[in-house]
Amino acid sequence: MKENQHYIPEFYLQYWSGNPNNKVWVYYKDSSKNPNPHGGNPQLVHPKNILKEDFLYSIEENQVIEDWLGKSESFIGEVFSKLSKNIALSEDDEQTIKAFSSLILSRHPRMKPFSEAFLLGGHSENPLAQTLPLRYKFSVFDKIKFHLYLEYISKELRPEWSFITSDTPVIIHRDKTTSSVYYTYPLSPYILAYLSPYKPKQKESIIQDIDVILKINKTIADYSDEIIIGNSAQIIEKTTT
């Protein structure tokens, strides 16, 4: 029975590994919650050791949800691999990227209060695991209607600049004037997904301005709960200062 269950997939975090040890740079917003204060802040940590909870998707000894998540991640990982190799995406691939945001949102521990309320007062078994498939289904149905727009960081700016990610990588924007909802989330250190209810004039663009990257990174950092992740300590320090 798998004890440590990740709510941010390891395959996703591995894209921020900028060193031979396959570790990522992690910054703890509240230094008192740093499990290894002697390691500094930020510090190198292996993805397998962060963004997880014991038996998060288990219902007693039933692992069917965890097994389903593993199969989903394998399928989504193939699309991420295409992106990293600059292979053109099909319409199905684009839908998979939208589904990834839905999966991240619906499986996150911050959904526990909603799950408990959904089950009308709580349950002796895991409420997050019990309601995950249903919440994911409705979330995907919502995202399918959105238009996908990708922003790439210019190769001329690498490796000095890149996108960061966090323990809550999907950022929800709400436009008060139009009541429209937008979603932003990094797919890798150099690719950002943007979901809009309105069809863009073009499907992708290249960012060549460092200030634009810094602004995006600060939004990601502000939206995060406790942990900020990057492929470079320098990037995190520039973002958090």
Q: What is the pLDDT of residues 122-137, one digit of tens each?
A: 666 888 999 999 999 9
Task: Give the single-character DSSP code of 111.
Answer: G
Helix or strand run (H / E) with residue 203: none
Give me 86's structure tokens: 């600059």
Averaged pLDDT for residues 184-205: 95
Say what percent of the chain tops pLDDT 70: 97
Q: Under DSSP, is residue 13 helix (H, G, I), strand (E, B) or coil?
A: helix
Residue 179 contacts residue 137 (beta carbons within 8 Å): no
Sign, CA torsion 196/74/163/190: negative
Is 60 exceeded by the pLDDT of residue 83? yes
Give the pLDDT band of residue 61 (cuts 50, 70, 90): confident
Is 80 exceeded by the pLDDT of residue 103? yes
- 19-57 tens-digit pLDDT: 778 999 999 999 888 888 888 999 999 999 999 998 899
Nearest CA-CA partner of 186 in 216, 223, 206, 160: 216
d(CA 77, CA 13) in angstroms, rounded, equals 11
Altogether, the residues listed in the chain come to a count of 241
pLDDT at 124: 65
